[in-house]
């Protein structure tokens, strides 16, 4: 499947910052689970040929139901995640047959179609890409006693988002190397960097938030409501 693009959507987390009994990816946003909003962005994108959803074992039945209800026919597999996000992604990668892969957070429903294209094109040019935004705040490096050590130049700092895009075979090799060495990275690109893969940054938007707190959910409701009004 030359130049085909698949996506692993990671929704296996049990975040506690939302303060709800329900996992954040299954909370309703404008009457629809957040994870469904996210899947729909990739389902509707002409670049994407296949999707794998990685979730919790107990959540697989309702996810299967939503996939059917909302006509998400690009979802080829719904699988149980691992102990860490890294393990969940690795399991998802093994389900894909496409040449390229995007790894995306299940609780980022506001990624734009043009950002998906830009990430793919950058990965084709350089080997891998990550969506990111320049850091707006001044950042301080602080030691464990609370003393400021340094103030990095803000112009060199980017807040990393998803999707992160790679050649599937190269990312699988990076994951296998990390597993052999017992290395646990903070994101997919850290494993790619470690394997010597060049990763380029694609400038995204500040609206591509990861919904992890009640404040994020309020912002998401506002964003989705406004988006709906603009389409009327």
Find which of 22-26, 81-85, 158-162, 219-223 is predicted with most confidence, using mean pLDDT. 158-162
Residue 16: the pLDDT is: 46
Choice among 1-5, 89-93, 114-118 with the minimum mean pLDDT = 1-5
Q: Give the list of residues 6+ apart from residue 17 with CB closer than 8 angstroms, or none.
A: 212, 213
**Burial of 50 from C-beta contacts in 10 A (0-12 / 13-18 / 19+):** buried
- Give tens-digit pLDDT for 52-111: 999 999 999 999 999 999 999 999 999 999 989 999 999 999 999 999 999 999 999 999
The fold of 5-231 is: Spore Coat Polysaccharide Biosynthesis Protein SpsA; Chain A (3.90.550)
Residue 2 and residue 98 in contact, taking contact as beta carbons nearer than 8 Å: no
29 — phi, psi (to 5°)?
-125, 110
Q: In whole angstroms, what is the distance from residue 101 CA to residue 128 CA?
A: 10
**230, pLDDT greater than 50:** no
- Give tens-digit pLDDT for 147-188: 999 999 988 999 999 999 999 999 999 999 999 999 999 899
**How large is the average pLDDT for residues 215-231?**
69
**22, pLDDT greater than 60:** no
**How large is the average pLDDT for residues 204-226?**
82
Residue 17: the pLDDT is: 46
Residue 71 and residue 133 in contact, taking contact as beta carbons nearer than 8 Å: no
Please, what's the b/e burial string for 13-33 (b: 16 or more CB within 10 A of its CB; e: otherwise)? beeeebeeeebbbbbebeeeb
Residue 9 and residue 39 in contact, taking contact as beta carbons nearer than 8 Å: yes
Q: In whole angstroms, what is the distance from residue 167 CA to residue 106 CA?
A: 21
- Give tens-digit pLDDT for 121-146: 999 999 999 999 999 999 999 999 99
Tell me the whole-structure pTM to 2 decimals: 0.90
Nearest to 45 by CA among 77, 72, 83: 72
Residue 92: the pLDDT is: 97
Residue 18: the pLDDT is: 44
Sign of CA dihedral 94, 99, 100, 106: negative
**How large is the average pLDDT for residues 211-224?**
77
Choice among 14-28, 71-85, 148-162, 189-203 with the minimum mean pLDDT = 14-28
Where are the domains positioned within the chain? Answer: 5-231
């Amino acid at each position: 499947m030359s130049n085909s693009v698949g996506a692993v959507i990671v929704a296996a987390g049990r975040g506690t910052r939302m303060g709800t009994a329900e996992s954040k990816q299954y909370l309703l946003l404008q009457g629809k689970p957040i994870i469904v909003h996210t899947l729909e962005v990739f389902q509707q994108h002409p670049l994407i040929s296949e999707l794998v959803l990685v979730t919790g074992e107990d959540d697989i039945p309702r996810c299967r139901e939503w996939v059917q209800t909302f006509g998400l026919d690009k979802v080829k597999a719904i699988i149980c995640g691992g102990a860490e996000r890294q393990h969940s992604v690795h399991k998802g990668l093994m389900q894909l047959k496409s040449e390229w892969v995007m790894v995306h957070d299940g609780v980022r429903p506001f990624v734009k179609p043009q950002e998906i294209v830009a990430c793919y094109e950058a990965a084709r040019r350089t080997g891998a890409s990550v969506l990111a935004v320049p850091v707006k705040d001044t950042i301080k490096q602080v030691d464990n006693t609370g003393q400021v050590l340094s103030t990095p130049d803000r112009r060199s700092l980017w807040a990393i988002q998803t999707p992160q895009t790679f050649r599937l075979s190269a990312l699988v090799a990076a994951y296998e190397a990390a597993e052999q060495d017992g290395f646990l990275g903070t994101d997919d690109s850290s494993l790619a960097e470690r394997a010597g893969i060049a990763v380029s940054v694609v400038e995204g938007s500040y609206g591509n938030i990861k919904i992890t707190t009640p404040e994020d959910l309020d912002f998401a409701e506002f964003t989705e409501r406004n988006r709906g009004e603009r389409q009327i």
